[in-house]
Copies of this chain bind each other. A is one copy, B any other.
Amino acid sequence: MSHIRILIVEDEPLIAMSTSAMLEGIDYEVSAIAYDSDEALEQLRSDPPDLALLDVNLKSKLDGIQIGEIIRDQYDLPFIFLTSYAGESIVERAKLTRPMGYIVKPFDEKDLFTAIEIALYNYAQFVHPLKLDMERLNKKLPSPLTPREFDIIKDIYEGKTNQQLAKRHFISINTVKTHVKHLFEKLDVQSRAEALVMLRNLNQAQP
Contacts and interface: CB of A to CB of B under 8 A. Distances in A.
Interface string A120-147: 0110011100100000000000000000
Contact of A102 (B115, B158, B160): B115
Contacts of A191: 159, 161, 192
Given A98-B122, A161-B191, A130 B204 contact: yes
A3 interface: no
B91 A159 contact: no
Q: Is the interface of A mostly helix, strand, loop or mixed?
A: helix
A196 interface: yes
A118 B114 CA distance: 15
**4 residue pairs, one from A and one from B, having the closest CB atoms:** A126-B126, A159-B197, A86-B110, A159-B194
A202 interface: no
Q: How many identical subunits does the complex contain?
A: 2
Contact of A99 (B86, B92, B118, B197): B118
Contact of A100 (B113, B122, B206): B122
A171 interface: no
Interface residues of A, number: 45
A41 interface: no
Nearest to A107: B104
Interface of A: 83, 86, 88, 91-92, 94-96, 98-102, 104, 108, 110-111, 113-115, 117-118, 121-122, 125-127, 130, 156-161, 189, 191-194, 196-198, 200, 204, 206
A3 B109 CA distance: 33
A178 B65 CA distance: 45
